[in-house]
Structure 1
Amino acid sequence: MIQKPRGTQDLYLNNSKEWNIVEEKFRKILNLFNYGEIVTPMFESKELFVRSVGDTSDIVSKEMYEFTDRKGREYVLRPEGTAPTVRAVIENKLYIQENLPFKAFYIGPIFRYERPQAGRYRQFNQLGVETFGIDSISHDVELVSLGQSFLNELKINNDVVIEINYLITGDERKMYEVELKKYLSSFTDLCSDCKTRINKNVLRTLDCKIDASKFINAPKMFEFASQENKDRLGETFNQLKQLGIKTQINFNLVRGLDYYTGLVFEFKNAKTDQAIISGGSYNNLVEELGGPSLPASGFAIGIERIMLILNEQGIKVGNNDQLDLFIIPLTEEAQFITNKLLMEARKANLKVDTNWNIKNLKTGFKSAERSNAKKIVVIGDNSMKSDIYAIKDQKSGKVKEVKFNEIVKYLKEERRNEKNT
């Protein structure tokens, strides 16, 4: 038997329904915040990610799915969503003044060759938000509140911790990196990745999945920040607090990607310490990839992590997805009448179905029970001759007799009554 590749998954039945609802709720929130959708290719030039994410990051050094096309060009399946969005902004000149601020979101698959575990796959899916042309505390606060609004929409209100930090740049960062290297040189048991990162990108050691817990007493970047940057982090924290968004300052919080500058943040699952939403500012990336100097920021959400939390907290995101009516046809002529009723009901946006393999009343009722229908109607010789159709409510057991031409009207009234109760 041929099986799916390791680190991938199949979605079907209720899982795919809930997945789609999560995406719909994300689109709903982004529409309220006036974001438009951007769709980029699932594969891009390898150079794009080497230049943006950084060649010392786990993504570039270990996790990219690479391939060469027939003309020898190097491509990768996209391992993250920000760099492709920036590339699209530059290539399509979306940075012109009349387009700014440019606010976009994306939904799609991401590919990383890493060890599969709970909530982490080799093909996973991200919901992402990117903004260009805005650099202010108010925007940083709005971005965090957007993430909070999405979790609130899903009713994920428990066991979530929001951490923020401010990544300094320039000479301040160089001084900090010198002190961080001194601190790290005292360790003799660092993993091979950290030993490499100390010389290539020392800040990345703080994000190490193996050794990060050892660095509790590491020098704090905040101590090397200018007063302006300190004030900005403090004001961001205060404004979030005033809006009722509880946050913590984590001075060791960095991001696994090299392009971040300024504010960074993570929404974490307090029970597992896994990131749910991760993001921040990357004000230099557009220019580094060949575009103009343009402030930018955003975040990404793993849908698989969201689904895991929904399951852990017993949250059902779907509405009552019952059929309005299940039809049991008992004869060939009844099947024709059934098709007519199905067509009319669906035109009225009613959810109706049947099973064309029904042989008798017994198998018909079994099919109806499996369908989770609110109501059932049997169509046979007697009902067709008398034009009286008995519609049974599965919850109450009550039966309503109506004429064929009144069935759709009756079902619509029942749905309206449900919404009003």
Structure 2
Amino acid sequence: MIQKPRGTQDLFLNSAAEWNAVEEKFRKVLNLFNYGEIITPMFESKELFVRGVGDTSDIVSKEMYEFTDKKGREFVLRPEGTAPTVRALIENKLYIPENLPYKTFYIGPIFRYERPQAGRYRQFNQLGVETFGLDSLNHDIELISLGDSFLKELNIEKDIIVQINYLVTGEERKKYEEQLKKYILSIKNICDDCQKRFKKNVLRILDCKIDSSKVKNGPKMFEFATENNKERLNETFRQLKEMGLKVEIDFNLVRGLDYYTGLVFEFKNIKTNQAIIAGGSYNNLVEELGGPSIPASGFAIGLERIMLILNEQKIKVVEEKEIELFIIPLSEQAQKLTNKLMLEARRKNLKIDTNWNIKNLKNGFKSAEKAKAKNILVIGDNSIANNQYSIKPQLTGEPVELKYNQIISYLKGEK
């Protein structure tokens, strides 16, 4: 038997319905915040992620699915969604002044070769938000409130906390990195990956799954920030608290991608210690990929982790719409009429069904019971000849006698 690749999953029945409902709720919230959708290819040039994400990140150094096409060009299945969005922004000149601020979102599969575990797959799905042309305290707060609004739309509030930090840049970052390196040199036995990070991008050690706890008491980036940036972080914290969000400042919070600058944040499930929404500012990325110098920020949501929380908290996002009518046709003529009636009913947005494998009345009622229909209609040759149809509502069990042209009106609740 051929099985699905490791780190992937199949979705069907109620799981697929819940999945689609979460996506639609995401679109609903994004529409309220006036964001439009962008759809980019599932594979891109390898160079895009090497330049955009950074070759010191785990994504580029270890996790990309790479391939070479017939002309020897290097491509990868997209391992994240921000760099492709920036590439599309630049290539299509969406950065022109009349388009700014450009507010967009994407939904789609992401591919990373990493060890599968709960809520983490090799093909997973991200709901992402990106904004270009805005850099202000008010926008930071709006962006975080957008993530909060999405979780509230799903009734996910329990065990969620927002962690924020401010990543310094320029000379302040150089001074911080010098002190951080001195502190790390006093630590023994850092992992092999962190020894490489120490030379290339020491901040990555703060995000290491093995050694991050060893630098917990080291120098804080916040101490090296300008007074304006300190105040911006503190004011962001104060306003989010006033808005009712559970929020804390984590001075060791960094993101696993090299392009972040300024504010970074995570919505974290404190029970699993997993981030379900994560993002921040990346004000240099557009210019680094060949575009103009414009500020940018955004976040990504792991859809699989959202589904885990919904299952854990027994939250149903979608209630399956009942079948209004299940038809049991008992003859060839009845089957023809069933097709006609179902088409007419579906054009009126009525959910109606049958089972073309029905062999007899007993078999038909078993099918109707399995379908959990609100009403059952048995059609035979006598019903057609007399234009008399008996619908049995499952709630009352009392048959209702109708003419053919009355059936749809009855199902719609019309007199």
Q: Structure 1 length as normaliser, TM-score? A: 0.96
Q: Which residue of 1 aligns with 2:64?
A: 64
Q: Which residue of 1 aligns with 2:318?
A: 318
Identity of matched residues, %: 74
Deviation track 1:45-103 (CA, whole Å, cap 9, x = no partner) reads 11110111110100000000001111111110000000000000001100000000000
The equivalences for 1:280-319 within 5 A come to: 280-319=280-319
C-alpha separation between the residues in 1 aligned to 2:249 and 2:372? 48
Amino acid at match of 2:146: L
Question: Quick check: 291-300 or 212-221, which moved more?
Answer: 212-221
The equivalences for 1:1-400 within 5 A come to: 1-400=1-400
Q: Measure how far apart 1:390 and its partner are.
A: 2.2
C-alpha separation between the residues in 1 aligned to 2:50 and 2:85? 15
Compared CA separation, residues 394 and 72, structure 1 to 2 (3 A):
same
C-alpha separation between the residues in 2 aligned to 1:132 and 1:56? 25
Which SS does the other structure have where 1:413 is aligned? coil
C-alpha separation between the residues in 2 aligned to 1:177 and 1:398? 78
C-alpha separation between the residues in 1 aligned to 2:341 and 2:132? 52
Compared CA separation, residues 41 and 186, structure 1 to 2 (3 A):
same
Amino acid at match of 1:124: F
Q: Measure how far apart 1:243 and its partner are.
A: 1.6
C-alpha separation between the residues in 1 aligned to 2:179 and 2:254? 16
C-alpha separation between the residues in 2 aligned to 1:322 and 1:336? 24
Q: Measure how far apart 1:218 and its partner are.
A: 1.9
Deviation track 1:265-303 (CA, whole Å, cap 9, x = no partner) reads 101111100110011000000011110000000000111
Amino acid at match of 1:173: R
Amino acid at match of 1:340: K
C-alpha separation between the residues in 2 aligned to 1:398 and 1:149? 46
C-alpha separation between the residues in 1 aligned to 2:345 and 2:401? 17
Which SS does the other structure have where 1:252 is aligned? coil
Amino acid at match of 2:408: V
Amino acid at match of 1:346: R
Q: Measure how far apart 1:413 and its partner are.
A: 1.4
Q: Measure how far apart 1:237 and its partner are.
A: 1.0
Q: Measure how far apart 1:229 and its partner are.
A: 0.3
CA contact (8 A) 2:187 2:214 kept: no
Amino acid at match of 1:90: I
Count of residues in correspondence between the two structures:
415
C-alpha separation between the residues in 2 aligned to 1:145 and 1:89? 24
Amino acid at match of 1:366: K
C-alpha separation between the residues in 2 aligned to 1:391 and 1:208? 65
Q: Measure how far apart 1:393 and its partner are.
A: 2.3
C-alpha separation between the residues in 2 aligned to 1:385 and 1:215? 84
Structure 1: runs of 5 or more not aligned:
417-421
Amino acid at match of 2:407: I
Question: Quick check: 347-356 or 370-379, which moved more?
Answer: 370-379
C-alpha separation between the residues in 2 aligned to 1:356 and 1:302? 40
Q: Which residue of 2 aligns with 1:419?
A: none
Amino acid at match of 2:169: T
CA contact (8 A) 2:194 2:208 kept: yes
Q: Measure how far apart 1:3 and its partner are.
A: 1.1
Amino acid at match of 2:277: I
Q: Measure how far apart 1:107 and its partner are.
A: 0.6
Q: Measure how far apart 1:392 and its partner are.
A: 2.1
Which SS does the other structure have where 1:267 is aligned? strand
C-alpha separation between the residues in 2 aligned to 1:52 and 1:314? 39
Q: Measure how far apart 1:217 and its partner are.
A: 0.7
C-alpha separation between the residues in 1 aligned to 2:241 and 2:132? 25
Q: Structure 2 length as normaliser, TM-score? A: 0.98
C-alpha separation between the residues in 1 aligned to 2:160 and 2:400? 48
Question: Quick check: 47-56 or 371-380, which moved more?
Answer: 371-380
C-alpha separation between the residues in 2 aligned to 1:213 and 1:170? 26
**Following superposition, which runs of at least 4 residues in structure 1 exceed 6 angstroms of deviation?**
none
C-alpha separation between the residues in 1 aligned to 2:218 and 2:406? 74
Structure 2: runs of 5 or more not aligned:
none
Q: Measure how far apart 1:383 and its partner are.
A: 2.5
Q: Which residue of 2 aligns with 1:412?
A: 412
Question: Quick check: 41-50 or 378-387, which moved more?
Answer: 378-387
Which SS does the other structure have where 1:286 is aligned? helix
Question: Quick check: 180-189 or 84-93, which moved more?
Answer: 180-189
Amino acid at match of 1:5: P
C-alpha separation between the residues in 1 aligned to 2:298 and 2:362? 57
